[in-house]
């Protein structure tokens, strides 16, 4: 128990700083996964000869320009 008491002044700020970092990483991972799924959908649609909705292209262009 004394080890935890001695480490808490270090661990609490460290954990508090890691929470936003984990949030940013999770947000980026979700954005990348969503964009990958959108690209895969467009690729399959074009391979099958289906027309690609302009909304899909607009989302891709928007995400590329927001970098």
Average pLDDT over residues 49-55: 91
The CA distance from 38 to 24, in Å, is 21
pLDDT of res. 2: 76
Task: Convert the pLDDT of each residue in 19-37 to its tens digit.
Answer: 999 999 999 999 999 989 9
Phi/psi at 61 (5° precision)? -65, -40
The count of other CB atoms within 10 Å of the CB of residue 39 is 13
Q: What is the pLDDT of residue 67?
A: 60
Mean pLDDT value across residues 50-63: 86
Does the structure show a pLDDT above 70 at 15?
Answer: yes
User: How far are the Cα atoms of 7, 29, 64, 67 from residue 34, in angstroms, in the given order?
Assistant: 40, 9, 13, 15
Domain residues of the chain, as ranges?
A: 20-67
Please give the residue that has the higher pLDDT: either 1 or 4.
4
Q: Is the pTM of this model over 0.75?
A: no
CA angle 22, 67, 17 (to 5 degrees): 20
């Amino acid at each position: 128990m004394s080890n935890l008491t001695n480490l808490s002044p270090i661990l609490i700020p460290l954990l508090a700083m890691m929470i936003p970092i984990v949030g940013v990483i999770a947000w980026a991972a979700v954005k990348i996964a969503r964009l990958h799924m959108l690209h895969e959908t467009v690729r399959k649609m074009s391979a099958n000869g289906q027309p690609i909705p302009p909304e899909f292209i607009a989302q891709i262009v928007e995400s590329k320009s927001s970098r």
